[in-house]
Structure 1
Amino acid sequence: MCKKIKTDLPDCYLRFAEEEDVPLILDFIRRLAEYENMSDQVVATGEQLQKNLFGEQRYAEVLLAYYHDQPVGFALFFHNFSTFMGKPGIHLEDLYVMADFRGKGIGTTLLGYLAQLAIDRNCARLEWVVLDWNTHAIEFYHALDAHPMDEWTTFRLTGESLKKVANNNYTRRD
């Protein structure tokens, strides 16, 4: 088992996920999707997570939160890069704490550890996105003195749109 990371929160510890945690990670992803009313969008499989989180090329890392030795939450994150600052950053893709354990400081503990990790890894920033309707999360982030980036709009290409743009790419690789 991976090393437990002690926290200031009584009865809570964190640890980095290992390959055998893939079913737990997938369960947390599904719980988060259900909370966000996006269950129909989850197509991730255990095999995909194993390959992309623990395979030869690791695209993200997962931090697990335990309360009284029970897994109660996770944070999935990866490095990005700020060209303006010339340094890496950490992008928090998902943060989830099970409903019965919210309000105990577990989310704050996860974010606090990621903030320290960003400092330890010489990152310029820690950033994430939040759904506009999730006022509880937005209030939580404001309480941490996090600042919304209102002047930025996220764009996304997926599926057929992604293929269409790739097929019209002027810098073809063939």
Structure 2
Amino acid sequence: MTAIQFRFAKKTEVPLILQFIRELAEYEGLLEEVVATEELLQEWLFEKKTAEVIFGVYENQIVGFALFFHNFSTFLGRSGIYLEDLYVRENYRGRGFGKAFLTELAKIGVARGCGRLEWWCLDSNQPSIAFYLKMEAVPMDEWTVYRIEGSRLKELAQE
């Protein structure tokens, strides 16, 4: 088997990035929650540069993507990589590409001096959870994620 290759996304590939986001959302049963547009992705990924995207290429086909950004750990005193999305198209799953993506992100993190790689996973996504545990990822079950969004975010900003 030929190894998967990785490359960073280009500005011209925003439509493909959005397509992958929608495929992931459909896989997770959350397609109705996707409000991202090509214009928003262009602005936030390539103009403001708040996140990065890598594509996995196998036999000249883009088989998956990962969208990530830097966060910061005050306890470590350094940045980490937060993996927002990792998606491998269904007909390419089970070939080690998910592990290859995590390995590539680990390489990027180590090269940049990051202290950790972390992500969230839906509790209902049992295949991914099993995969992450096999990779020896540690679930952070003693932490609860909190979120303020939408109209409440705007209200809070005006208080």
Distance 1:157 1:32 in 2: 23
Aligned to 2:42: 50
* Secondary structure of residue in 2 paired with 1:49: helix
Where do 1:1-174 residues align within 5 Å?
10-55=2-47, 57-168=48-159
Spell out, residue by residue over 1:94-128, the C-alpha distance to the aligned partner (whole angstroms, 9 max, x if none): 00000110001111111000011111111110000
* Secondary structure of residue in 2 paired with 1:14: strand
Normalising by the residue count of structure 2, what TM-score does the alignment of the two structures yield? 0.97
The structure with the larger Rg is: 1
Q: CA deviation at 1:11?
A: 4.5
Q: Runs of 4+ in structure 1 displaced over 4 angstroms?
A: none
Q: CA deviation at 1:161?
A: 1.2
Spell out, residue by residue over 1:23-72, the C-alpha distance to the aligned partner (whole angstroms, 9 max, x if none): 110000000000111111111110111111111x2000000011211111
Distance 1:21 1:111 in 2: 22
Which blocks of at least 5 consecutive residues in structure 1 are unaligned?
Answer: 1-8, 169-174
What is the identity, as a one-letter code, of the residue corresponding to 2:79?
A: P
Distance 1:120 1:104 in 2: 26
**Quick one: higher RCO (CA 8 Å, sep 6+), 1 or 2?**
2
Distance 1:116 1:125 in 2: 11
How many residues are paired up? 159
Distance 2:94 2:30 in 1: 23
Which protein has the bigger helix share? 2
Identity of aligned residues (%): 52
Q: CA RMSD in A?
A: 0.9
Normalising by the residue count of structure 1, what TM-score does the alignment of the two structures yield? 0.89
Aligned to 1:3: none
